[in-house]
Structure 1
C-alpha cells in the first residue's frame, strides 16, 4: 500500500412516540467491526490532508486529496491520490485495494506518479490499526505503511522503510461530498447525540450529510439547548437544521384546544429561531380509532397546524408508520388522510420502510398523489440497500412525480456501530441511488 508523504413535552403522545423509536432501536443491538472487509470500508470516501500530522485542521487548499470509491459490494475500492499544484489537483497515485476472501487479507495493486507499479498486502489488527507491506514488481520490499484511525473520519498514515526507519507521516481527514443533498434523521445516532452532540454533528458533516432532522423537541429546545444555541452548533459544524418531527396529541375539548394551539404556536416560533424549514408529525393512536369521523377530526387538526405553519413560512407534513395502511369502515387510513387534508398546507413525509411493513407499494402512492411527498425517510430492514427487500432504485424513479425535496436517511437496525452504519447509508444513497 503505497501512499504519499507530506508533513416540555410530557404528554402521552410524545412519550409513546419516543418510546417507540427507542424500543425499535433496542431490538437491533449494534455489532462491533470484526471482519477485515468491514474495517477496510472506514477508508472509503473523500479525504484531505490536514495541515500537519498533529492536527485535524484542513487548509484552504490541502496539499493532498484522496478519493476512495467503494466497489465490489463494499469489499474493495478504487483509490486516487492527487496533489495540489498551480491551482489544481494532479493525480500522483492510483490504486485498487480489496479484501481477499481466500487469505483473509487486504490486497493492493497500484502505480505511483513515476510509473512504478507496486503490490501491497496486510490486515487490520483491530478496527483502529491497519498495517500493509509494499513490494515492487521485482518482489523487493520497498515500504511499510501503518494506518492509525482516530475515528472513521480521521486517520494518520505513516510510512517507514523495511528496516523500520520513519520516512513520513500524513494525516487525512474525511470530507465526503455534499452535492447530492442527503439528510439524516438523528434517531439514527440518538444515544451518541445525547452524550456529545457537537462531536456527532462534526462527524455527520465529515460523512457527507448536508442537513439534519431531529425528533427531540422538548421544553422549547433540542438536546438541552435553546433553538438559537442548537442552530449555531449545527451551522458551526457545516450542517443545516432543516427538519423536525414534533408531537402533540389531538385535543379533546375547548380548553385542551387552546392549550394545543398555544403549544404549536410556541413550537413554530422555536423552530423558526432554529432555522428549520419543515415540521412533521405522526400518529401512534390509529389502532384505537373506531370510525372515520374520529379520523376526520385528525384531518381537521392537521389542516389547522398546517395553516399555522404556512402563515409563518414553514412547511408541514404528516409522517407515516405501518398502521396507516389499516382500514376503518372499509377505507385505508392513509388514503383517507391524503384525501381529507388540504394539499396547500399539509404535505406528507413518506417513510418507505414503514410503507413496506404495512404491505403498501410506495410507488402506488407516489403516482396516485403527485406532489404530496416533499420529504422521504429512506430506511431499510438493515443498513440501506442491504436487506434485499426494498426496491429503492424503483422508488426513486418517481422522485420528481412525488415532489421530493428532502431525502432523509434513517438507520435503526444496526449490523455495525451506529456511525459506521450511518456512513454505509450515505454511501448507498450517494453511489447507488442518487
Structure 2
C-alpha cells in the first residue's frame, strides 16, 4: 500500500481485516492467552482511524492494550468513558498507558507537574488502567540531577497509588549507560520507593544496552511487573531474543502484564503485529 491514509479513510477496518489470514478473524474464539499490544505498534493507523484500527487489533486476538496517546483529557481523541466502552465492546481492556507528562521537570514548578499527573491518573482510572508508565526521560549528566528525577517519580507514584494505580518507568538502551560510574537504570531502581514506582522492562532495549534481560529480571525481581516483548522487527524475527527464558524468568518473578511492541517492520505494520501475536500464541512457554 503506497497510500495508507487514503486506504484507511476509504475502506476502514473491514478492509484492513482482509489483510489478515482468515483464521485471525476468529482468533478471539481460539486463543486464551492474554497477549497485550502497545498501540504504538500501529501508530500511523491509530492516528488516521483509531476506532477502525482497534477493531482490527481485536480481530487479530489481542485482549489487553497499552496506549501511547493522551492529550487534553482524551485518548486517541476519545473521551475516557467512551474509550473504555468501545474497547470493552470489542472484548479488550486497557491495562497500561504510556504518558509523557511534562517533558522536563523543574522542581520550582513541581505543583504544576503533579497536577498534570493527577488529572491523567483520574482519567486513566476511568478507563480501567492499572499502570501509568513514563516511556522516556532526558538523560541527566550527574547523579544529583538523577536524584531529582527519582524523587519526582516517587511523588508521581504516590499520586498514582492514591488513585489505585501504579506508576512506572520504561527503559531504552541509553538508561544502561553509566552516570558517574553508576548504571542509570540500576540507580533509578535502587533509589525509588518500590511501593510507589515500578519499571516496565523493554527486553529488546535491555539487550541492546548490554544487559541480559533474563539476568536483569532475576536481579531485580518484582520491580518488573510489566514487560515490553520486542524484537528487531516483529516478534521472533531476529532469532537473537531468547523469549522462552525471558518469559520463564518473568513468570517466576511475578509478571502481571506483557505487551507486544513493534517499532520496525518487515511487512505492513498490521501484518507484523499479527505475526507477533501468532508467534506468542503458538509458544508453549507463554500462558
TM-score by length of 2: 0.89
Cα distance in 2 for partners of 1:285, 1:400 equals: 31
Query: Mind listing any 5+ residue stretches in structure 1 that lack a counterpart?
Result: 1-28, 33-127, 129-148, 156-171
Could you tell me which residue of structure 2 aligns to residue 152 of structure 1?
20
Which structure has the bigger radius of gyration? 1
Aligned to 2:60: 207
- Which residue of 132, 137, 140 maps to 1:284? 137
Which of 91, 106, 116 aligns to 1:252? It is 106
Residue 329 of structure 1 aligns with which residue? Answer: 180
- Aligned-CA RMSD value: 2.1
CA separation in 1, counterparts of 2:121 and 2:80? 11
Q: Which residue of 1 aligns with 2:7?
A: none
Distance 1:369 1:182 in 2: 23
Distance 1:184 1:371 in 2: 21
Contact 2:31 2:281 in 1 (8 A): no
Which residue pairs with 2:166 in the alignment? 315
Paired residues of 2:132 and 2:165 also in contact (CA < 8 A): yes
How far 1:250 moved relative to its partner?
Answer: 4.3
TM alignment of 1:188-203, pairs within 5 A: 188-203=41-56
**1:138-178 superposed Cα distances (whole Å, 9 cap, x missing partner):** xxxxxxxxxxx8442659xxxxxxxxxxxxxxxx9423434
Measured after TM superposition, the shift of residue 223 of structure 1 is 1.2
Q: TM-score, length-normalised on structure 1? A: 0.59
User: How far, CA to CA, are the matches of 2:199 and 2:112 in structure 1?
Assistant: 25
Q: Shift in Å at residue 201 of structure 1? A: 1.2
Aligned to 2:38, which of 185, 195, 210? 185
Q: Deviations over 1:379-405 (max 9, x none)?
A: 101211110111111111201333211
User: Residue in 1 aligned with 2:205?
Assistant: 354
Q: Which runs of 4+ in 1 moved over 6 A?
A: none
Name the counterpart of 2:282.
431
Between the aligned partners of 1:328 and 1:419, the Cα distance in structure 2 is 39
Could you tell me which residue of structure 1 aligns to residue 74 of structure 2? 221
Matches of residues 277-426 of structure 1 in structure 2 within 5 Å? 277-286=130-139, 289-426=140-277
Distance 2:31 2:148 in 1: 41
Runs of 5+ unmatched residues, structure 2: 5-14
How many residues are paired up? 271
Q: How many angstroms does 1:283 deviate by?
A: 2.8
Higher helix share: 2
Residue 8 of structure 2 corresponds to which residue in structure 1? none
